[in-house]
Amino acid sequence: MTTTSEKLLNIENLVLHFKTSGGSVQAVDGVDFELGTNRAVVILGESGCGKTSLSKALLRLLPRNVDKYSGKVFLQNQDVMLLNDEEYRQNVRWVGISLVPQAAMNALNPVLKVGDQVAEPAMIHLGLSKAEAYGLVYKMFQHVGVPADFVARYPFELSGGMRQRVALAMALVTSPSLIVLDEPTSALDLLTQANIMNVLKRIKHELGTSFILITHDIATSSELADEVAIMYAGQIVENGDAKDFFPAPLHPYSQMLMASVPRLRSDSDPMFITGQPPSLMNPPAGCRFAARCPFRFEKCSQEPPVFQKGNRKVKCWLYQ
Amino acid sequence: MSVTTHTPSEKLAIRRTSANNTFFRVARYVGVRLLTLFITVVIGIYLTIMIANMGGYVDEIIKNQIRDSVTQSVAASPNAQQMDPEVRKKLIADRIALEEKRRGLDTPIAVRNARYLVNALQLDLGRAINLTSDAGSKQVRLIILERLPATLLLMGTSQLFLFFSSVFIALTLSRSYGSFWDKLVIALSPTSAVPPWFYGIFLILIFAAGLRVLPFGGMVDSPPPPNTFDYAVSVLKHLMLPGLSLVLSSFFLSVYNYRTFFLIYSSEDYVEMAKAKGLPTRDVERTYILRPTLPNIITNFSLLIIGLWTGALFTETVFLWPGLGRTLFQAIGLYDVPIIVGSTIIYAYMLALTVFILDFVYALVDPRVKIGE
């Protein structure tokens, strides 16, 4: 394993809890992971497992009902959790990390031309004039495959796929070292999905950007992933190299998640996991997956530590 | 993704036809819109005429008034006392008929209403029955024009202050949802259930009767100060209490209203995206919250501006403010139909015009709105 100093991003014990009338929702509960330069990690998990909350915690896009928000987030060796809001805005937002949101449909201001919206971060963070920023906009539009004359269009005049590309161009315009993509393709048809994934691959290759891709679409994401992190009930249960992960996942949840993907040219029916994910309000003590796990034994009533297994980390007593 | 390509001449032709289409579309829209608005105004004014006349019952009241005054004046005249009762009765009947004819009460109400409607639509507002302007005219137009400046001064200052302060404060509050000030405004918003004239009475009690620092009512000291500066100071002092009561009675609800409005719009995805992009708060608020909500804000503002027209009936009355509201209040009490209708006609025309203009303003501020589609 490489040391912290060589990593682009290093998250240690990130916690984000929300206050609700029923109690504290532990949406992100002690997440650790690392990411190197020009690498892509895919964060996989069911709906409601805390994937989007993880991206919010990472980008400090907090809702009003935050109960607990703590941990360390080292971005290029600087703990950005220590910055105040104004420092964070100036030094991290779109300079260090940018975002391609879940619903690009609504992520663009309906009354501003898309060119202006893409140019905005470049003008603010890079101090460019509007004309210079537009130069970058045209370049980015070319990268993501949007015709140049679309700069003068309004979001409602674009198709869903085009809007997603514009959102991607917007994320790229300041050349950040890391882009968080929150289900960038989930609202799109299969052909457009494939197109966007190809654009992402090309950008990673050409611009050397790192990606955190948050999705539940295992098949599409496997094309881009260098690393995989499996999230379950607010925690990362398995994290490691994608090449090793996809053929042989370690954690029982990962195995069942992978088995639930329908396969072409195979007689085996897709599997499903019985039961429900635990409530994040009162997660069970010990392993959070224990109730649904076919391999559970006495040890599982205690919280499993993270075990190193080859170049993968797994949070399961089976690998003690 | 495929992009259709056209030769330059094709492009020009396309542009020309689309420009033509736009012209016809807008022209057709303007025609239809003006016609429907005019019909609405006609119906509205006709209904006002009917209501102000109480469907003809006001005629009965006026006829009785005429009978009363004629009988009394005849009874009071020394000549009539020596008359034969039959002759006196005939004299009374003749004078009543003459007076009714003079007032036009001999023609049927339906005919009079129709004639009245046509005149009203041409802004020929006619003559008041009982009220006169301070200059002594019975022309409705002159009465309204005389009272307008006082109303515009009172309503203009208070409503503009109310509008801008509540939008600004609401925007600040929406930033700090759940804070002490936010909760305070919510807690105080029911104070707007109390009408402004009620606050007016309290303010008069405190500042005029109790502390004796501000005048009880009116618009200027009597006699009016001779030089302009003293005059302005005097008007300002008289303006304080009615203005304050108008602001006070709507302030918290108005702030609460806009704050909720901004809260809803500030939870849009694109606002969060703007924050993620690292835009300064000022830019986020201006370009991502105010800009998309501009059509709503402009609507509120323009309705507020034309709302100035009716004045504040009770507040002006409580403060003896010589404005349109108080005149209207008096006119209603005296069944002075021409003044009530005259004021309504002007309001109806202004409302129709505003609605018409707003359609174009929407198209200017919101690219999603296209005229006539």
Q: What is the per-residue pLDDT for A5?
A: 44
Q: How confident is the model at residue B48 (pLDDT cuts 50, 70, 90)?
A: confident
Instruction: Please tell me whether residue A269 adopts helix, strand or coil conformation.
Output: coil
Instruction: Please tell me whether residue A53 adopts helix, strand or coil conformation.
Output: helix
Q: Which residues of A touch B274 (CB under 8 A)?
A: 109
pLDDT of B84 above 60: yes
DSSP B76-87: HSHHHHTS-HHH
What are the two backbone dihedrals, phi and then psi, of residue A67, each rounded to the nearest 5 degrees? Answer: -100, -45
Q: Which residues of A touch B3 (CB under 8 A)?
A: 147
Q: What is the per-residue pLDDT for A4?
A: 42
Distance CA(B173)–CA(B180), nearest Å, equals: 10
Q: Please name each of the domains of chain A with its CATH number.
A: 4-96+176-319 (3.40.50.300), 103-175 (no CATH)
Chain B's closest residue to A58, CA to CA, is B276
Closest partner residue to A125 among B276, B278, B288, by Cβ?
B278
Q: Which residues of A touch B362 (CB under 8 A)?
A: none
Closest partner residue to B367 among A94, A111, A162, by Cβ?
A111
Q: How many residues does chain B have?
A: 373
**CA distances from residue A315 to A72, A247, B273 in whole angstroms, order as listed:** 20, 19, 34
Q: Do A89 and B365 touch (CB under 8 A)?
A: no
B56-70 tens-digit pLDDT? 788 888 889 889 988
Q: What distance in Å separates residue A179's CA from the closest CA in chain B? A: 12
Name residues whose C-beta falls within 8 Å of residue A180's C-beta, 6 or more positions apart in sequence. Answer: A55, A58, A59, A97, A98, A99, A100, A211, A212, A214
Closest partner residue to A121 among B277, B367, B368, by Cβ?
B277
Q: Which residues of B touch A108 (CB under 8 A)?
A: 270, 273
Worst-scoring range by mean pLDDT, A199-203, B6-10, B89-93, B308-312? B6-10
Closest partner residue to B277 among A120, A145, A195, by Cβ?
A120
Q: Do B269 and A101 touch (CB under 8 A)?
A: yes
The fold of B140-365 is MetI-like fold (1.10.3720)
pTM greater than 0.90 (yes/no): no
Q: Within a 10 A sphere around the Cβ of B349, how many other Cβ atoms?
A: 18
pLDDT of B2 above 60: no
Phi and psi based region of residue A158 (left: phi greater than 0; alpha: psi -120 to 50; beta: remaining): beta
Distance CA(B324)–CA(B330), nearest Å, equals: 10
Substitution target from A19, A98, A109 for chain B, most B beta carbons within 10 A: A109
Q: Do B275 and A107 touch (CB under 8 A)?
A: no
Q: What distance in Å separates residue B194's CA from the closest CA in chain A? A: 33
CA-closest candidate to residue A13, choices A79, A95, A94 = A79
Worst-scoring range by mean pLDDT, A106-110, A277-281, B214-218, B307-311? B307-311
Q: Which residues of B touch A92 (CB under 8 A)?
A: 278
Size of interface A-B (CB pairs under 8 A): 77
Q: What is the per-residue pLDDT for A7?
A: 82
Provide the token pair at A211.
């990606």
User: So what's the ipTM on this one?
Assistant: 0.87
B147-162 tens-digit pLDDT? 888 998 999 999 999 9
Closest partner residue to A101 among B273, B288, B366, by Cβ?
B273
**Domain-wise residue ranges, chain B:** 8-121, 140-365
B331-347 tens-digit pLDDT? 988 888 888 888 888 88
Distance CA(A114)–CA(B89), nearest Å, equals: 87
**CA distances from residue A181 to A116, A130, A192, B200, B250 in whole angstroms, order as listed:** 21, 26, 16, 58, 46
pLDDT of B33 above 60: yes
Per-residue pLDDT tens digits of chain A, which is 320 residues long: 444 446 899 999 999 999 988 888 999 998 988 899 989 999 998 888 888 899 999 999 888 888 999 999 999 888 999 999 999 999 899 999 999 987 666 889 999 999 999 999 999 999 999 999 999 999 999 988 899 999 999 999 998 888 988 999 999 999 899 999 988 887 778 888 888 888 889 889 888 899 999 988 888 888 889 999 999 999 999 999 988 898 889 999 999 888 887 777 767 777 778 888 888 888 888 899 988 888 888 888 888 998 998 889 999 998 88
A312 touches chain B (CB under 8 A): no
A154 touches chain B (CB under 8 A): yes
CA-closest candidate to residue A318, choices A232, A253, A263 = A253
Q: Do A94 and B274 touch (CB under 8 A)?
A: no
A61 touches chain B (CB under 8 A): yes
Q: Do B367 and A124 touch (CB under 8 A)?
A: no
A103 touches chain B (CB under 8 A): yes
Q: What distance in Å separates residue B278's CA from the closest CA in chain A? A: 5
Q: What is the per-residue pLDDT for A94?
A: 92
Q: What is the per-residue pLDDT for A228?
A: 93
Q: What is the per-residue pLDDT for B15?
A: 67
Q: Do B270 and A106 touch (CB under 8 A)?
A: yes
B99-133 tens-digit pLDDT? 888 888 888 888 888 888 898 888 888 888 888 88
Q: What distance in Å separates residue A294's CA from the closest CA in chain B? A: 40
Q: What is the per-residue pLDDT for B252?
A: 94
CA atoms within 13 A on the CB side of A230: 25
Provide the token pair at B346.
């002007």
Q: Which residues of A touch B270 (CB under 8 A)?
A: 106-110
A59 touches chain B (CB under 8 A): yes
A101 touches chain B (CB under 8 A): yes
Distance CA(A216)–CA(A46), nearest Å, equals: 6
pLDDT of B87 above 90: no
Choice between B12 and B240, residue whose per-residue pLDDT is larger = B240
Average pLDDT value for chain B: 87
Q: What is the per-residue pLDDT for A1?
A: 43
Q: What is the per-residue pLDDT for B12?
A: 64
A107 touches chain B (CB under 8 A): yes
Distance CA(B254)–CA(B138), nearest Å, equals: 39
Q: What distance in Å separates residue B352's CA from the closest CA in chain A? A: 27
Q: What distance in Å separates residue B234's CA from the closest CA in chain A? A: 47
Q: Which residues of B touch A145 (CB under 8 A)?
A: 1
Chain B's closest residue to A57, CA to CA, is B276
pLDDT of B253 above 50: yes
Chain B's closest residue to A195, CA to CA, is B1
Q: Do B278 and A121 touch (CB under 8 A)?
A: yes
A66 within 8 A of A16, measured Cβ to Cβ? yes
